[in-house]
Homo-oligomer: A and B are copies of this chain.
């Protein structure tokens, strides 16, 4: 392993994790961020249950691509297996974020996808953010965190949703996962998912029921993504 590259990844994962309580998405020790370096053959993730105020870059946990930690480290986040499944099944994903952010988690608790009620949603998510089915008792007994990854993959495949175009999900009864090409995108998508979930609830309280027309969804999504994007520098 390239020591310098590992140190860089640890620093970046540390900063991405610290961005979550800063953005108001995480309380106590909830939430975790990881990144993958497929060339280097490593995943780097937050350690389990360490308070954010005491966390240091050196404590980030390095594992192989199957999520097996190299020796002599803290225990990785208990949700690691979910991250691993997402990296193995969603091509091009470079980072994964899990939080219990209030509004997205409340959609998860209500068992509902987050509808695309406006352009704020369309700027980041090309259509509704899906909600998985409830895991069965057998799945939870067998491998809870791994099966959480599997049910996310099943949800996207079953509904033919492109995980690159809809970089987030709410897991039934649990909370949101989001991802992106890199840490910056994955963290931003977790912020946006919670914000559009909040606005979706407000929209419904105001009597709103209609999602935006497909042509407006297209316009906003492709204004920011793909070959014809013209947002940003």
**A78 contact set on B, CB distance < 8 A:** 223, 230-231
- Is A28 part of the binding interface, using a Cβ–Cβ cutoff of 8 Å? yes
Q: A120-B105, A201-B206, A205-B205 are in contact. Are A137 and B213 (CB under 8 A)?
A: yes
Name which residue of chain B comes closest to A184, CB basis. Answer: B51
In the complex, A117 Cα to B134 Cα: how many Å? Answer: 13
- Is A175 part of the binding interface, using a Cβ–Cβ cutoff of 8 Å? yes
- Is A133 part of the binding interface, using a Cβ–Cβ cutoff of 8 Å? no
Are B208's CB and A140's CB within 8 A?
A: no
Binding stretch for chain B, among A8-16, A89-97, A106-114, A149-157: A106-114
Are B103's CB and A30's CB within 8 A?
A: no
**A29 contact set on B, CB distance < 8 A:** 232
Contact with B along A30-73 (1 / 0, CB 8 A): 10000000000000000111100000000000000000000000
Name which residue of chain B comes closest to A145, CB basis. Answer: B223
Name which residue of chain B comes closest to A50, CB basis. Answer: B233
- Is A7 part of the binding interface, using a Cβ–Cβ cutoff of 8 Å? no
Q: For chain A residues 124-152, which have a beta carbon within 8 Å of chain B?
A: 134-135, 137, 140-141, 144
In the complex, A187 Cα to B155 Cα: how many Å? Answer: 38
Please name 10 pairs of A and B residues whose Cβ atoms are closer than 8 Å in the assembled complex, sorted by A.
A27-B191, A27-B192, A49-B231, A74-B233, A75-B232, A102-B199, A111-B210, A119-B175, A135-B216, A173-B216
